[in-house]
Chains A and B, each alone.
Chain A
Amino acid sequence: KAGVTQTPRYLIKTRGQQVTLSCSPISGHRSVSWYQQTPGQGLQFLFEYFSETQRNKGNFPGRFSGRQFSNSRSEMNVSTLELGDSALYLCASRVRANLKEGNEKLFFGSGTQLSVL
């Protein structure tokens, strides 16, 4: 079974630009979560999608948005990039967006390393 796939692996952008990151979950997983990882803040939750609906949201500004498609693939978008948005963006999938037995294990992709210059 293929794992969580994120593209691209590396991205370099300049301030003010926007960026779209892509994530394909593990086959059969319908929930996709996004996390931002930085040396200063660690792993921070951005949002979670299930059945094309946002189910949970973290404390990030509206410049960060996401969506999920009917095949469970997800994209996240960051508009008007700032230097502080430089981070590793991790996507994770699980069966469903709850902690019921069998649904809860979250599996991560390798991430997209975004550098904002």
Chain B
Amino acid sequence: GESVGLHLPTLSVQEGDNSIINCAYSNSASDYFIWYKQESGKGPQFIIDIRSNMDKRQGQRVTVLLNKTVKHLSLQIAATQPGDSAVYFCAEGGDRSGGKLQFGAGTQVVVTP
């Protein structure tokens, strides 16, 4: 029979273009946010993190933006490459929750040549 699972949103991006992956978080008390990349058959790999006292942070080819007013987080990938094809997860946490991280459902990014 047909299996039921999470329907991951898919972002299809052309190689060389910029990607923007969005994430809505739920807990207004969260003060720490983190992005992970997960390739098939591997565990999640840390990309970048940001604290709630910042609204932007840049890494190598990646930028994370945080909008606390609307509880929104985004990950921008510049000049997307085939190796960027993966599932991307955002996660939130706060000291009030004992430091536990709550993960979003993920976004599948497909890079086309």
Contacts and interface: CB of A to CB of B under 8 A. Distances in A.
Contact of A90 (B3, B41, B43): B43
Q: Chain B contact residues (Cβ within 8 angstroms of A): what range?
A: 20 to 34
A76 to B, nearest CB: 15
B98 A104 contact: no
Interface of A: 4, 33, 35, 38-45, 48, 55-56, 58, 90, 92, 97-100, 104-111
Given A42-B106, A43-B89, A55-B98, 14 more contacts: A4-B43, A35-B103, A39-B3, A39-B5, A43-B44, A45-B100, A56-B97, A56-B100, A90-B44, A98-B95, A98-B98, A104-B49, A106-B34, A106-B101
15 contacts: A38-B5, A40-B4, A43-B103, A45-B103, A55-B99, A56-B98, A92-B43, A98-B95, A100-B95, A104-B93, A105-B34, A105-B46, A105-B49, A108-B45, A108-B46
